[in-house]
Amino acid sequence: MIILLSDPGKAKLSRETVRNLTEPKTHACLALVAILTAFLSGCSSFLGLPSYYDLTTYKNLTDLKPEVHALYDTFLNDTVDQARIAAIRLKLAQAYEYENGKGQKNAETTEQLQIIQRMFERHVDDRITSGKWTVAHLNNEKNNIGEAFDIAISTERLKNKNE
């Protein structure tokens, strides 16, 4: 583009630039660029790009972590709260199904939830079969499942474009 400055306060386009901008070939190129831009920005989910940050996922994980820790605190007692275990199993299953429903682009978070579910089941089975936990064992298992939740939470948080 050539700009002629005949008057320092006013800029003018040269005749060649005006002619180039009005040619049909130029319009076709500009239209193609606009269409491709719209297509690529609107269809990014079909291009295999990572899944977007999901506030629901983040909330599910950050709510479940302290609930599981609170349940584990009861594993020091003689009785096992089967209703509370069932409620947490249900919440873990719901969180897993929510993540799994997002498809392959969300595989990392889905896999991490599976790890948490299996770990939770091992811990519950250990408590039921071996009896009440010692404080040291409680702290160890809370740390283990806490780290699994932290990995899932950070995996989701990394999807946040603001970070």
> What token pair was written down for 94?
């719901």
| More confident site: 160 or 30 | 160
Statement to judge: residues 14 and 90 lie in one domain: no
Statement to judge: residues 32 and 90 lie in one domain: no
148, part of any domain: yes
163, part of any domain: no
Q: Has residue 3 got a pLDDT over 70? A: no
Q: Mind listing the pLDDT tens digit for each residue in 113-123? A: 999 999 999 99
pLDDT value at residue 159: 77
Statement to judge: residues 38 and 63 lie in one domain: no
pLDDT value at residue 158: 80
50, part of any domain: no
Statement to judge: residues 21 and 79 lie in one domain: no
Predicted model pTM: 0.67
| More confident site: 25 or 112 | 112
Residue of 9, 118, 98 lying closest to 58 (CA atoms): 98
* Euclidean distance between CA atoms 148 and 116, whole angstroms: 6
Number of domains in the chain: 2
Statement to judge: residues 13 and 66 lie in one domain: no
The whole domain housing 17 covers: 3-42
87, part of any domain: yes
Q: Mind listing the pLDDT tens digit for each residue in 32-80? A: 555 545 444 444 444 444 457 788 999 999 999 999 999 999 999 999 9
Q: Mind listing the pLDDT tens digit for each residue in 137-163? A: 999 999 999 999 999 999 887 876 544
Which residues, other chains included, contact 68 with Cβ-Cβ below 8 Å and sequence gap of 6+? 88, 120, 145, 149
Statement to judge: residues 15 and 69 lie in one domain: no
